[in-house]
Structure 1
């Protein structure tokens, strides 16, 4: 017999309760359980958003590390280029010293030869066959010494008459013709200048004087000192740039760490609220069970509501990298770890596009309607509706899981279910084929399709209750 009394505040005097009061009290407990369940149902969306947050934080850290590494590589490459160029310049200084000494010696010899030629005047005694008049005519044309002309050539006369004449090339690039100087006088003039040039070259210095050599050495050493200073300056600039890059990287990581720490704190507080609501829900379920044991059945209307209220609490889809604040934490695992390293998660495979495209195509063309076959109207409608339903279901499951911001594996058993639907459509097409005798094969395919559908459904329900989802390779 059911006891319809409740203890008073002092726990001594039992007070009988009416059936209406019992039902009201039970409804109050059930409504409280419903309200808590509605709040707990938001935990899945919260965990999904928190996973996206962790993925976003991981991407931000990867970007910061990549940018820092790229900046260091750029600084090192620039420093290496500068050092290589300066090293080549330093190594070429010895060759540059010899080049400058050679150039200085050439300038010194050229100046000495020029002076010697200018100090060698044209005289009657030096040139056989030249009289005072010709010497005076040459001087009038600007040729007084061996340095005033470079040689002689034969060419047409200035007026174009009389054949070729002898031209004397002055040092400034002009050429002149002096009447009375032909081939018999041009050869002695050329030989006289060549002899004067040979004497000047023989007496010209063949080595640099010590003061000139010292001047070239000073120039080379000054260039060497400048290059070494530039090398040291490039090294210091690279070190400064690296230190600046490290500072910016540390500041960026500090900002990311602060943001992550605040977000993790808020997430932990939110998880604690969900855990508290779960404990409250368990307490209310225990209270409802005690109320049922104490007062028995409260009527048909309350019976279904109390069965729904006593359903087990679904497992919280928490991430392994983010433990619940109320769950025990292994200190050996967390020792020396500053913060959890979020994982980007598994994404659904692109191979699921094949069954999606196949079922979408079947939605348009149906089964058993290719060629000359005409399927019954019921098969035409049912096959299209079934193909459309599985297409929408696969798209609903696959699209959110293939995105970078919300990756996740496909639910377990969906591959078996897709294969079962594929075989079901194939069997329907075989049954609708009136020209081939495939009834036995169609029956076998139908049985296999039913087994796959049952196995996939059972596997999916079992994994959903256990809170585990695994990605399965599509067989259809």
Structure 2
């Protein structure tokens, strides 16, 4: 403390300061304390912001880990799907070979039958009743061989005049009528064609030639080799995808850790500044107290400012260790009363990034329903007016209170659990409304259950209120 005294010559004691000097010194100390207090007022906001930063970095680390795990899971599932698909295709190659051989033999026999039918020309000696004139008429209509028609049928004459006539159907859907060819000549014509088809099928090859079977076998073996190579490549592709996912996770964690180190270093410097200011404030308060004890009261105007200046420092949130879990208790924060374990409706711990549970919407909706429908008004039951009005007002008050507590705790900046004991109080109010509905029904059979429910409601309400008071 700076003494506003002067030392007399000759070793005499210093002269006491004047009242004006005492007040000036006292005012200087008070203003210094007040200035430091204004600077220290920002420490709480700084600690809360730093805690939000740590929570945000923890969320970023969790997201990086979750993204890596999700990618690894996708890689594993994709590998299993492709392995099953390749195994199924490899197992089906033998059946595919047999199918291709059967198909190739079918095509070969069909081509052989068609070539044989094209080579079987229609002559006057083949069909009884068909002379050279009809052969020429058939040739003019494009029917020269057994391959040029497929069947015969009866239909109306061309132009719709006359009765039914015999039509000869061409391979591509056209049909022609040849004058002079009716039922007696059409039947032998079809018999001749059926005989030609039977001879062609009998002469058609019954198995594939060796060169075609060898060609199909080469195609199947090439497909097998390709599938086996693709199956052998799957583990390398999966390993590469896993390495890429791990690399991305490592880069993300390194980036987050680097940013955390920089932010932590800046926070430590800022915290050291606050600590130095707090020590300086304590020293100034001690100096102010010593000045007050030495010189007494400095006047009515400075008394109130002096009292405010000597108040203890406000408590600030303790800094959280970066590696500690978000819900862990801080050093010196007590034994953990009012933690989420005390209340089944609570989620997380105050000051963390964990929000109030969405399960609280269930009681909110239930009490909102009671606000609209009331209690004890089902069927033909009509409770008293005071019960109808009182139950709705009670349900409305509970709904408003739950929303008042729950909505701010869902916001990112004010996230936190519901106060301890809120779940017990909510259950108590629900039982109270149920008991009121039982009493309002007027049924004597439920009187005992109504009194038991009411007593349980009162007990739970007292318990929840006590826990809310402690929290």
* Worse-matched range after superposition: 152-161 or 48-57: 152-161
3-state DSSP of counterpart to 1:16? coil
CA 1:26/1:408 → structure 2, altered by over 3 Å: closer, same or farther?
Answer: farther
3-state DSSP of counterpart to 2:150? strand
Matches within 5 A, 1:38-57: 38-57=38-57
Equivalent residue number for residue 405 of structure 1: 413
Question: What is the deviation of 1:175?
Answer: 3.6
Question: What is the deviation of 1:57?
Answer: 2.8
Give the conservation status (yes or no) of the 8 Å contact 1:168–1:176: yes
CA distance in 1, matches of 2:68, 2:469: 39
Equivalent residue number for residue 150 of structure 1: 150
Question: What is the deviation of 1:105?
Answer: 0.7
Matches within 5 A, 1:11-22: 14-20=13-19, 21-22=21-22
Equivalent residue number for residue 35 of structure 2: 35
Equivalent residue number for residue 425 of structure 1: none
CA distance in 2, matches of 1:254, 1:15: 66
CA distance in 2, matches of 1:291, 1:410: 48
1:344 has 2:334 as partner? no
CA distance in 2, matches of 1:346, 1:130: 99
Give the conservation status (yes or no) of the 8 Å contact 2:154–2:166: yes
Question: What is the deviation of 1:107?
Answer: 1.0
* Worse-matched range after superposition: 129-138 or 36-45: 129-138
Deviation readout 1:428-476 (Å, 9 max, x if unpaired):
xxxxxxxxxxxxxxxxxxxxxxxxxxxx9xx9xxxxxxxxxx96599xx
Give the conservation status (yes or no) of the 8 Å contact 1:55–1:405: no
TM-score (norm 2): 0.60
CA distance in 1, matches of 2:408, 2:264: 24
Q: Which runs of 5+ in 1 are unaligned?
A: 324-328, 331-341, 355-370, 372-390, 415-455, 460-469
Question: What is the deviation of 1:109?
Answer: 0.8
CA distance in 2, matches of 1:315, 1:161: 115
Question: What is the deviation of 1:104?
Answer: 0.7
3-state DSSP of counterpart to 1:166? strand
1:321 has 2:329 as partner? no
CA 1:282/1:134 → structure 2, altered by over 3 Å: closer, same or farther?
Answer: closer
1:105 has 2:113 as partner? no
* Worse-matched range after superposition: 100-109 or 141-150: 141-150
CA 1:30/1:199 → structure 2, altered by over 3 Å: closer, same or farther?
Answer: same
Equivalent residue number for residue 222 of structure 1: 222
1:286 has 2:286 as partner? yes
Question: What is the deviation of 1:190?
Answer: 2.2
Question: What is the deviation of 1:34?
Answer: 2.9
Give the conservation status (yes or no) of the 8 Å contact 2:5–2:17: no
Give the conservation status (yes or no) of the 8 Å contact 2:75–2:238: yes
Question: What is the deviation of 1:70?
Answer: 4.7
Residue correspondences, number? 360
* Worse-matched range after superposition: 47-56 or 17-26: 17-26
Question: What is the deviation of 1:259?
Answer: 1.9
Question: What is the deviation of 1:159?
Answer: 6.1
Give the conservation status (yes or no) of the 8 Å contact 1:29–1:284: yes
Matches within 5 A, 1:67-466: 67-73=67-73, 85-158=85-158, 163-228=163-228, 240-292=240-292, 295-301=294-300, 304-321=304-321, 343-344=352-353, 403-407=411-415
Pairwise CA RMSD of aligned residues?
4.7
Equivalent residue number for residue 390 of structure 2: none
CA distance in 2, matches of 1:104, 1:164: 43
CA 1:47/1:159 → structure 2, altered by over 3 Å: closer, same or farther?
Answer: closer
3-state DSSP of counterpart to 1:168? strand
Deviation readout 1:178-221 (Å, 9 max, x if unpaired):
44444333333322222222122122222212211122222223
CA 1:298/1:84 → structure 2, altered by over 3 Å: closer, same or farther?
Answer: same
CA distance in 2, matches of 1:99, 1:181: 44
Deviation readout 1:120-169 (Å, 9 max, x if unpaired):
33344444444455445544544443333333333344465664443333
* Worse-matched range after superposition: 190-199 or 296-305: 296-305
CA distance in 1, matches of 2:355, 2:191: 98
Larger Rg: 1
